Amino acid sequence: MQPNLRTNGQFLLRIEDTDQKRLVRDAEERLCQELQWAGLNWDEGPQVGGQYGPYKQSERNDIYQKHAKELLNSGSAYRCFCTPKSTGSTGATAAYVTSACYQDCSSLAAGEAQEKAESKHEAFTVRLNQPSDAHKRVYKDLIYGKIQRLKRSPSASPGGEDDSGIDAADTVLIKSDGTPTYHFANVVDDHLMKITHVIRGTEWMASTPLHYDLYSAFGWDPPAFAHVGLLVDENKAKLSKRSNTGLVLDVKGMREQNGILPAVLCNFLALLGWSNPGRNDVLEMQDLIKTFDLKFTKGNTIVRTEKLWYLQKQHVAREVEKLRPHDSKDTRTIQDITSRIREELHITSTSEVQGASIAVYLRDVLLADSKSYSTPKQYAERNRYFFKFDESQVPADREYYDKQGSVTAQYLLDICRNDILKCWEGLPDHIWPFSEASNHDSDNQPYSEHIATLDDRASCLHDHIENALWREVYPGWDEWSPNRRSDMTQSPELQELERQKFKALNGAMNRFLRDKLAYGLPGPSVAHIMALLGWSECLRRLGLTEHNPEKWVPRKLDEGDIRTAPVRMSWLKT
């Protein structure tokens, strides 16, 4: 598809179903659905039509019969009346292909052969007369250069009708039931549908001389052929639907079981077998079309799923970034992602949500942790503390939260109670989907119209936490104006010891809050976690009451504690 679009060509879908014994029910329907899901919409083919139809080979038999007669009339093909030789196997069918013509059927006069076929109704196949100069012919390939004709014994054991390997014996074009072999149908269809490039796996390289011979027999110009390496697993075995990594490698499985995005799968597959000249492998379809060329590497390609998960994370992060603007709307991809996460969490679209939909809340969770998404299941597990709180999963208090062994849980809790949590005083609680009540009046409007964006709220909390900690280590902190504080942290007025105290206390506070609010799990910044959970939920998880903070009574200070009166900081309002 990529070279077609890059050269303003057409993407044609053809259903090759000549081998009815191997036909899988509903396979065509599933194939079309999976291509459409991946965003690979064809210009001609089933469901859309086109000037070269029909596009199912099983509906083109009259066309193949007509072209077989052309070869018979020109002497390039002959009728073969040989029946299958016994090989000890059972279940012979009416449609057959023998390994060789053992009765010298090519020497029959054309009239005699026609009489046996039409008057006596003897079963026959149509075989290609091997050109006398076949051994002198050069078969070109865009990847491998010149292709040699395989030398095989005419007495080789019979192969399947559509085997990619070709016997040295004259090859069957029309089977005894009147249907074409894969090779004959493909050559006829490629010519009639004006195919200019045939790009296929190296297992079909042995077929190329036969295809060139067929084009020559018809007097047609052949298309350009390019054979690319097979996709193999890390054991160099041909790739199967389920790899040893547990990844389901069929499209339906990747979509439904692994939650792979369409753009990710296209990006991943398009990069296999060649070297991207650019530095960035995270590419949308239009970028892939512009970048693609036929400089494939020779040999098979080992498929490693690490790149797939890397691309999944990067593409999701790109989609999430589109949500940053204040008035942005969810893309279809984001809607699909949030829907899948809800399914993993067993949350409906409306239940247990006060003030806004769970979709709005999930949107903010994605914004907070945009670069860690691999699958819906993985993401829901990683961020489970945003949706349900299980006190038994909260780590026990550490003896000390700093390396120096001086910062206790109680000391950090007091800073939270007396200072940090003051920033939410008197403001509407951020939407918490499992709260029993909320004083946020949404009127069916996005909460971003009432409260600052997530990043704004997190930034405000981050600044407030830092200010609270600086007050702990530097009593004169409040004497500086807010505009000068960021400059003063690098000023000579602050001793290195005070900077080290702040660094240690800041690390301790982050460990403490992450333990209490998020089970100690990795994830977004503590400020983002607090902004998402909201004031009431943070109080609950810290074991504090929801009474008005002005009425809280600080614990009795131990001798030697350095404390200052709490200073209120107004919340950023919109």
Residues in the chain: 574
The angle formed by the CA atoms of residues 76, 78 and 82, to the nearest 5 degrees, is 150
241, 290, 322, 388: which one is catalytic?
A: 241
State the Cα–Cα distance between residues 386 and 14, nearest whole angstrom: 48
What is each CA distance from 457 to 394, 407, 420, 454, 496, in whole angstroms? 25, 27, 13, 5, 30
Single out the residue of 373, 319, 320, 377 nearest to residue 343, CA to CA.
377
Structure tokens at 33: 């659905």
Sequential DSSP letters for 404-450: TS---HHHHHHHHHHTGGGGGTTSPPPP-TT-S------TTS-GGGT
Q: How does DSSP classify residue 258? A: T
Q: At what angle do helices 306-321 and 332-345 cross, to 10 degrees?
A: 110
- The residues, any chain, with a CB within 8 Å of residue 36's CB and separated by 6 or more, are none
Integer Cα distance of 100 and 158 in angstroms: 8
Using the Cα atoms of residue 251, residue 257, residue 262 and residue 265 in order, give the sign of their dihedral: negative
Other beta carbons within 10 angstroms of residue 553's beta carbon come to 6
241 is catalytic: yes
Q: Which residue has the tokens 């191997």?
A: 22
In contact, 46 and 56? CB cutoff 8 Å: yes
Whether the upstream peptide bond of residue 54 has omega within 30° of 0, thus cis, is: yes
Query: What are the structure tokens assigned to 166, written together?
Result: 């070709």
Are the C-beta atoms of 447 and 573 separated by less than 8 Å? no
User: DSSP per residue over 278-324, as a string?
Assistant: SS-----HHHHHHH--S-BPSS-EE--THHHHHHHHHHHHHHHHTT-
- Evaluate whether 478 touches 469 at the Cβ level (below 8 Å): no
User: How far is it, in rounded angstroms, from Cα 135 to Cα 137?
Assistant: 6
Kindly list the catalytic residues: 241
